[in-house]
Amino acid sequence: MKKNSYLGFAAFVALTAIILIACQKDQAKNTATTAAGDESTIMNTASTATIPGLISGANAKELRTVYINVAGPNATQYVAFSLKDITNFLNSMKSKYKSDSVYVNFGVYDYNTDPTADKSEIGKTTIFFTVNNNLPSKGNFIKTNSNDGGDTSYNSLNHGAIWP
């Protein structure tokens, strides 16, 4: 009888130890996740100051104002893209072509390129993104025409919302 109670006590101690260890691991994991999240936020905040080409809000407003004065109030003022779409596009192009540069191209919709059913975008300025091709065998800039010899079937991104 005493043997069973020793086994029961040993099992109880082992189970208690396992539960305590599991709780400690969970706490350590939560603490590490929180610390990593805090560190990531700090890194993101700190790293924005070191991005080449960043301009102030005042400079951005001035650039926009001058553009509208030159282009006119009915000209395309901006094209909005989803960050998710841009990120997916860039990750895909980086993977497929080993791209390290993205090009923002300007274009004007005509009858063939207007994505709307009612052709209401004809004559409006738009932008689209292309990338460079760093694959060793091809090494050329990925253009939007077929004369460069590269695969051009899906290497540009253009479906942003144009305003106005």
Mean pLDDT value across residues 99-126: 90
Query: What is the C-alpha separation between 17 and 26, in angstroms, rounded?
Result: 14
What's the pLDDT score for residue 37? 52
- 58-78 tens-digit pLDDT: 999 999 999 999 999 888 888
Residue partners of 65: CB distance under 8 A and separation at least 6: none
What's the pLDDT score for residue 112? 93
pTM of the model: 0.56
Burial 82-101 (b: 16+ CB within 10 A, else e): eeeeeeebeeebeeebebee
Half-sphere exposure of 38 (CA within 13 A, CB side): 6
Residues 36, 100, 154, CA angle at the centre, nearest 5°?
Answer: 105
